[in-house]
């Protein structure tokens, strides 16, 4: 249980859902963890739930000044930033992409693709360029398929998949950059996809017969953050119960 002993991780959107699942697993593996999310009360509750060497700072991931303050706080508190998890995302629009209004389109781009670039730039400049590190971008299986409901969100995740490849090619060998593309995970964020009876139908259509849990993604993140994946970079690992495989 000490795969990440001595490491420091920063997890955006770490107060609930997939981000919380990752933060918990990292802490169990011995890492010091900084949780970042918009609401202080959510951050505080998550840190108390996890226990151990966990700190938190409230911030909007799409706001450059907040991003810099959170990275600086991590370095001041822990003295390092070995692992950055770009997990925070937004999906303010549901429906055909052709119908999205410009403000919601721009918000989706700002949080889901500009945000990960910004946070990675800061981590690189302030710590990883000199010391090395590991970046994990939380994408979505939707980045590989079309959708009549969340097409705009999926487009940003497809872009994030390529950003992962691009940054991996630029930041190696000192920094590895990989992604995880979850399928339907039973979080509040994805409630639209599994609530009101839709979850059972979706689960039955999957080769593995169940929806994902935050802990499932936490295990994949631990693999990518640890030395077990030391020869892997530029990849986005799909963890979706087989949804994409069946779609193909």
Number of residues that make up the chain: 248
Answer yes or no: 153 catalytic: yes
Q: What DSSP letter does each residue of 209-223 carry, written as one string? A: -S-B-HHHHHHHHHH
**Contact status, residue 211 vs residue 184, Cβ threshold 8 Å:** yes
Task: Give how far Cα 195 sits from Cα of 125, 184, 190, Å.
Answer: 42, 11, 9
Token pair 């990989």 in the structure block, residue: 178
Q: Which of 93, 127, 141, 153 is catalytic?
A: 153
Cα(9)–Cα(54) distance, integer angstroms: 10
Q: In terms of C-beta density within 10 A (0-12 exposed, 13-18 middle, 19 or more buried), how is residue 41 classed?
A: exposed
Task: Give how far Cα 209 sits from Cα of 21, 184, 201, 206, 238, Å.
Answer: 21, 12, 10, 5, 16
Q: What residues are labeled active site?
A: 153
């Amino acid at each position: 249980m000490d795969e990440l002993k001595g490491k420091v991780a920063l997890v955006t959107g770490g107060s609930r859902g997939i981000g919380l699942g990752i933060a918990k697993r990292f802490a169990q593996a011995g890492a010091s963890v900084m949780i970042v999310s918009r609401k202080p009360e959510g951050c505080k509750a998550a840190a108390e739930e996890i226990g151990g060497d966990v700190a938190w700072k409230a911030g909007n991931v799409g706001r450059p000044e907040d991003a810099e303050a959170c990275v600086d706080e991590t370095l001041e508190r822990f003295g390092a930033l070995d692992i950055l998890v770009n997990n925070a995302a937004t999906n303010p629009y549901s429906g055909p992409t052709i119908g999205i209004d410009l403000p919601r389109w721009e918000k989706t781009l700002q949080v889901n693709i500009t945000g990960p670039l910004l946070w990675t730039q800061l981590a690189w400049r302030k710590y990883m360029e000199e010391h090395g590190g590991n970046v994990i971008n939380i994408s979505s299986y939707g980045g590989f398929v079309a959708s009549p409901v969340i097409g705009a969100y999926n487009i940003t995740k497809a872009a994030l998949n390529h950003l992962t490849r691009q940054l991996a090619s630029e930041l190696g060998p000192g920094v590895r950059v990989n992604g995880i593309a979850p399928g339907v995970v039973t979080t509040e964020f994805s409630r639209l996809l599994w609530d009101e009876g839709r979850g059972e139908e979706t689960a039955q259509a999957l080769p593995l017969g169940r929806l994902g849990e935050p802990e499932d993604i936490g295990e994949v993140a631990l693999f990518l953050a640890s030395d077990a994946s030391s020869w892997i970079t530029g990849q986005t690992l799909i963890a979706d119960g087989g949804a994409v495989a069946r779609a193909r």
